[in-house]
A and B are shown apart, each in its own frame.
Chain A
Amino acid sequence: MSEDEGMVSGFPGWSATATSILNGCVGDYLARRDNGLAIDMAFYGGGKPLPLMPDSLRADLHTPTRKLCVLLHGLCCHEGVWNYPADPARSYGSALRDDLGYTPLFLRYNTGLPIPYNGKSLDTLLEKLLLAYPEPVDEIVLIGHSMGGLVLRGACHYGVERDAPWVRLVSRAFYLGTPHEGAMLEKVAHLMTSVLRAVPHPVTALVGDVAGQRSQGVKDLRNGTTVDADDLIGAVPWLASAQHYLIAGTVTDDPGHLAARLFGDGLVQPPRAGDNVRLFPGVGHMDLAHDEAVYDQIRTWCASA
């Protein structure tokens, strides 16, 4: 029995977790070296990539509906991040299928690759999915956790640029703890690396060099990069034909607490208040991907006209 078969349905095993962490840290290097540990972007089910062929999809997705929900994990994660720790068979995807009839598709990708590169790959993959999907598709909902939100934003941009058919079907995009304005932790890491390299001592320079080996995906989080600088000058526009919802958490129950204002959800600062922005005090960065209150809000927004 393989490791994944022994797990609760759909929950990846420890080797997938280790590989995903490694990809987040040095995934661009792995891809450059054509290393067998580099993850190829694909939709996953039961710990295995889903072949994008109508018959396979019909069998793997059981009863595919005309409404799709695509879920993108964040840095160093895989699709298992969506599973509730207390009930690994439940996720936002399975709950949206049961409650509102969306067919969930869980993406796994190499989070160490540049975010714009992953955005382009997702654009291509969604087009292939639409061609292979066994039913006509009426609607697509995108849910991105952390870096996943930046990747989906990039995919929408590249999709609009080439007038991809899937983009017109996107009705809503959810960003859970997504660092649209950059991640503080990576800004600090960048500063520390620069300081270490500037100190004229071989040991500190060595430590700085090691820290500088982190993947381009991690470095892109510094400014929340979603598209290549050559492809667009200025801010990346939000997909005009879709509704966008920002969900954030804080490390303390009181969002006004100094720790919450300094550290946000532990990794990402919350966005400014707005109509489609919802703050969940006391919900940490990783918990945003599997929290019942967060799901209730997503379901409410999905069910709204």
Chain B
Amino acid sequence: MELETVRQIRGAKELVEEAVDAATARIGEVQRVMTRKPYAVLALVTPIALPVRAIEEAHLHVVDGVYFAIRLGNRLAGLLAGYALDRLEAHALGKPAP
């Protein structure tokens, strides 16, 4: 494989990785805001305010956990792809694999 092709594949990998990272962070923020809205209304009812807050916190932890898992998977996939590309690049340059 040509060096220029490897460089372009690496560029595509980095772009996808950055896009997934930025998109999950931004969508996660929006989902947090949307998630809090019904709880804010329910929390106005004094007798149930305390359990509502507890459920809201648990819900937000789940939401954050999902986005964290996506970002973690994205980073791991990026690391693996980067490793494979390093080997391809070394092969293209005629150097021993790292």
Q: Residues of A with Cβ closer than 8 Å to B?
A: 2, 15, 19, 22, 26, 30, 33, 35-38, 202-203, 205-206, 209
Of B27, B30, B34, most buried by chain A (CB within 10 Å of CB) is: B30
Interface size class of B (residues with CB under 8 A): 10 to 19
- The minimal Cβ–Cβ distance linking B33 to chain A, given in whole angstroms, is 5
Cβ–Cβ < 8 Å partners of A37 in chain B: 8, 11-12, 15
Q: Are A33 and B18 in contact (CB under 8 A)?
A: yes
Cβ–Cβ < 8 Å partners of A30 in chain B: 11, 15
- The minimal Cβ–Cβ distance linking A167 to chain B, given in whole angstroms, is 33
Q: What 0/1 pattern do residues 4 to 34 of B give for CB contact below 8 A with A?
A: 0001111110110010000000110110011
A205 to B26, CA, bound (A): 11
Q: Are B33 and A36 in contact (CB under 8 A)?
A: no
Cβ–Cβ < 8 Å partners of A205 in chain B: 30
Cβ–Cβ < 8 Å partners of A35 in chain B: 11, 14-15
Q: Are A206 and B27 in contact (CB under 8 A)?
A: yes
Q: Residues of B with Cβ closer than 8 Å to A?
A: 2, 7-12, 14-15, 18, 26-27, 29-30, 33-34
Cβ–Cβ < 8 Å partners of B2 in chain A: 2
Cβ–Cβ < 8 Å partners of A206 in chain B: 26-27, 30
Cβ–Cβ < 8 Å partners of A19 in chain B: 8
| Number of interchain pairs (Cβ within 8 Å) | 35
Q: Are A209 and B26 in contact (CB under 8 A)?
A: yes
Of A26, A30, A202, most buried by chain B (CB within 10 Å of CB) is: A202
Cβ–Cβ < 8 Å partners of B12 in chain A: 36-37
- Given known pairs A15-B8, A36-B8, the reply for A202 and B30 (CB within 8 Å) is yes
| 22 A-B residue pairs with CB within 8 Å | A15-B8, A30-B11, A30-B15, A33-B18, A35-B15, A36-B7, A36-B8, A36-B9, A36-B10, A36-B11, A36-B12, A36-B14, A37-B8, A37-B11, A37-B12, A38-B11, A202-B29, A202-B30, A202-B34, A203-B34, A205-B30, A206-B30
- The minimal Cβ–Cβ distance linking A287 to chain B, given in whole angstroms, is 30
- The minimal Cβ–Cβ distance linking B40 to chain A, given in whole angstroms, is 14
Cβ–Cβ < 8 Å partners of A209 in chain B: 26
Cβ–Cβ < 8 Å partners of B15 in chain A: 22, 26, 30, 35, 37
Cβ–Cβ < 8 Å partners of A2 in chain B: 2
CB closest chain-B residue, reference A206: B30
Which 10 residue pairs are nearest across A and B when measured between Cβ atoms? Answer: A36-B11, A37-B11, A36-B7, A202-B30, A35-B11, A202-B33, A206-B30, A36-B10, A36-B8, A37-B8
A36 to B26, CA, bound (A): 25
CB closest chain-B residue, reference A3: B5
A37 to B9, CA, bound (A): 8
A202 to B30, CA, bound (A): 6
Q: Are A33 and B30 in contact (CB under 8 A)?
A: no
- The minimal Cβ–Cβ distance linking B16 to chain A, given in whole angstroms, is 11
CB closest chain-B residue, reference A36: B11
A206 to B31, CA, bound (A): 11
